[in-house]
Structure 1
């Protein structure tokens, strides 16, 4: 089964179950590392829920549910390891809703092309406005970066 179809299948199976449990699907990866295949499913708390973080109980519950469903229909030809986890503290912002949800938070942005001589910028996320990622940098300067230049945006880990 093609990778894209596996992602779609996992999303189709999990979305109703996750909603019932105040969770949401963050991302799905089906990757080969060395000789082994991994189906990695990242889950998050649904926006607006009291609990902010994913627990090991959440991961276990989702793993049991998805494993049972996939074992019953056996749609994936390859042998694989199923991994369920949270996106982590330094999660990559992937979808527009992620940029909305984490507005006001510190982010690290890696760029394909330098902007003002920098290929990495850290700042407070304002959001996405007209195909530009908008930040307030360390010097409280508003920075607008064309999304076409953005390689990756992750939440900054601040201690």
Structure 2
């Protein structure tokens, strides 16, 4: 899910070690567009705290650009875009489903399950290689194999917005405390 196509996966193999060495984790990579106007979109976060500031995007972009210029894995011109996954982020790794337990998400599967491919509910963590989700109107928690999920994203809710505000407030307080102690 972090990459959609075979080309995405090759680029991920090239770029991921660079991101990890710089202290970041790639959440999702997509090479989009046709032959003339392509865009390499990389969503990443700091490995240490899951945050991603503008300065982090610039730092990671520079590191990736060096490797991309040397390896030249994309034919023609492209634009590199490095960003934060955002508040209503994609869920691309099994650990994301555990991290965001208790928040609402939308899942799309690569096959039919219970007569449908799309599900919406509250994440209930993980169980082995399965994503646990409490579906609206269902009595029991559903377990969906992670390998069946082709797209997953948090739903923008008041609870998720509150979490985002709390994370920003904590980060600002930590930065202010650091500046005071210097």
Q: Which residue of 2 aligns with 1:11?
A: 16
Q: Secondary structure at the match of 2:157?
A: coil
Give the Cα–Cα distance (whole angstroms) in 1 for the partners of residues 85 and 37 of structure 2. 22
Q: Which one has a larger percent strand, Structure 1 or Structure 2? A: 1
Q: Which residue of 1 aligns with 2:44?
A: 43
Give the Cα–Cα distance (whole angstroms) in 1 for the partners of residues 120 and 132 of structure 2. 11
Return 5+ residue gaps in structure 2 as ranges: 1-5, 159-182
Contact residue 132 and residue 145 of structure 1 kept, 8 A: yes
Q: Which one has a larger percent helix, Structure 1 or Structure 2? A: 2
Return 5+ residue gaps in structure 1 as ranges: none
Question: What root-mean-square deviation, in Å, do the aligned CA atoms of Structure 1 and Structure 2 show?
Answer: 2.8
TM-score (norm 2): 0.66
Matches within 5 A, 1:70-149: 70-71=68-69, 73-76=70-73, 77-111=75-109, 112-113=111-112, 115=114, 119-129=117-127, 131-139=129-137, 141-147=139-145
TM-score (norm 1): 0.74
- CA displacement at 1:140 relative to structure 2: 7.1
Aligned length, in residue pairs: 149
- CA displacement at 1:67 relative to structure 2: 1.8
Per-residue CA deviation, residues 102-147 of structure 1 (Å, 9 max, x unaligned), is: 22222122344253x6654322211232554321234473331443
Give the Cα–Cα distance (whole angstroms) in 2 for the partners of residues 25 and 36 of structure 1. 23
Per-residue CA deviation, residues 23-71 of structure 1 (Å, 9 max, x unaligned), is: 3221222233363222221111325x2xx64222221221123223433
